[in-house]
Each structure stands twice: as C-alpha cells, then as structure tokens.
C-alpha cells in the first residue's frame, strides 16, 4: 500500500495543473461506477477490523440423547 501512496504523491507533485485537469476529465466517467471512494475505504476498514478479531469457538460432541442431535454441535461464544 505504501508504494501506491508514494507513486500517487509523486504523480501529484510532478504533474502540471493542466495534466491533472486532463486526467481528471478522462476519469470522470468512472465516478458513476461502484461506491464512492470514501464509502469503499470505510467498508474496507470495517472488514479489516472484523477479520482481525478472532471469535471464540467451542465444538462439543457431548449430548444427553444422540437420537435427537447431530454428531457435532458448533457453539459460537
């Protein structure tokens, strides 16, 4: 991710204002496709936080009457 940011900063510092406007106009059509950048970043951060949290899981195969249960039972704590 750092490389992408570095390349973007280098592009923004070296490109002329005219080049930036030209490039922006060429990319304008993509503003109507997909989520806005801010929404994408917020959703990505939420996903990362969810993936980083490890849920507590317990698996048990001890039951009183096996005729009415599955072999294993998944318990999410």
Tens digit of each residue's pLDDT (9 = 90 or more) over 34-49: 788 788 888 888 888 7
pTM of the shown model = 0.41
Token pair recorded at residue 59: 């698996």
Distance CA 27, CA 53 (A): 37
Helices (H), 1-77: 2-14, 17-27, 37-52
How far is Cα 13 from Cα 5, in angstroms, rounded to an integer? Answer: 12
pLDDT tier at 11, thresholds 50, 70, 90: very high
Q: Identify the pLDDT of residue 38.
A: 83
More confident site: 21 or 70: 21
Q: How confident is the model at residue 37, as a pLDDT?
A: 78
Kindly calculate the radius of gyration of the chain based on its CA atoms and give it in whole angstroms: 25
d(C-alpha 70, C-alpha 33), whole Å: 46
- Count of domains for the chain: 1
Which domain range does residue 50 map to? 2-76
| pLDDT confidence of residue 62 | 65
């Amino acid at each position: 991710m750092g490389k992408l940011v570095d390349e973007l900063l280098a592009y923004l510092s070296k490109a002329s204002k005219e080049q930036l406007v030209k490039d922006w106009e060429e990319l304008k059509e993509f503003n109507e496709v997909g989520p806005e950048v801010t929404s994408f970043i917020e959703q990505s951060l939420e996903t990362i936080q969810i993936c980083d949290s490890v849920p507590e899981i317990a698996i048990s195969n001890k039951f009183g009457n096996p005729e009415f249960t599955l072999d294993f039972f998944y318990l999410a704590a």
